[in-house]
Homo-oligomer: A and B are copies of this chain.
């Protein structure tokens, strides 16, 4: 496991170097079919990570945001989102991140959230979640009325704006993957997101669980490489989960 963690850290280091080069530089933003902005940096980062994995873990599977899936033979799959929060990257806000997950038989066992501009990195690998190498933990929160609730955008909920069932005054928006790191340090209590892909959430699972929180889809089902649901709910204090689920 230590070798996997070291490799994931190296992938994040290399990704960060590229992100730093393109951050706040004028660049062309192309539009994919789903209307998500994709930057040159996004592609360059994934290519670099694929290159490293091809050399070091040729038998592992890959599931990347940009270049799709490659089956493996080892039972391990690397799940990559080179720039999660592309919108924040495009506007020059350092809350985007590189997400790296390692799944064993589809279950995430290692997750990295890396913010390369602020040089902030969260790693969950079955041990206590670490923020820049130091152990961190979620905060207790027994009352949904006082919870700090995060999400990226109301638009992600589409036709099912469940966030309206919560006290909107408790929400902060624009959270990106960064908010899951903040949850692992005790600063965010509940996160609700929708329209998410496996590369958006698999890296978050070991980070949140290793900090004492819980994370699942809205039905309470575990998030795996085979998840059919695109919803994510995380609670820093797992005792809040039933109250949250009751509103979803």
Q: Which residues of A does B touch, CB under 8 Å?
A: 24, 26, 35, 87-88, 90-95, 118, 148, 150, 152-155, 168-169, 171-175, 178-179, 182, 185-188
B90 touches A187 (CB 8 A): yes
A156 to B174, CA, bound (A): 14
B178 touches A155 (CB 8 A): no
Contact of A148 among B24, B90, B150, B152 (CB under 8 A): B90
Contact of A172 among B88, B168, B186, B187 (CB under 8 A): B88
B92 touches A187 (CB 8 A): yes
B87 touches A172 (CB 8 A): yes
**A138 to nearest B CB, angstroms?**
13
Given contacts A87-B172, A154-B154, 10 further A-B contacts (CB under 8 A): A35-B169, A91-B148, A91-B187, A93-B182, A94-B94, A153-B171, A153-B172, A154-B168, A155-B168, A155-B169
8 A-B pairs with least C-beta separation: A174-B174, A173-B173, A92-B187, A173-B174, A155-B168, A91-B187, A87-B172, A92-B182
B169 touches A91 (CB 8 A): no
Residues of chain B lying within 8 A (CB to CB) of residue A152: 173
**A197 to nearest B CB, angstroms?**
17
Contact of A187 among B24, B35, B168, B175 (CB under 8 A): B24
Contact (A95, B95) CB under 8 Å given A118-B118, A168-B155, A169-B35: yes
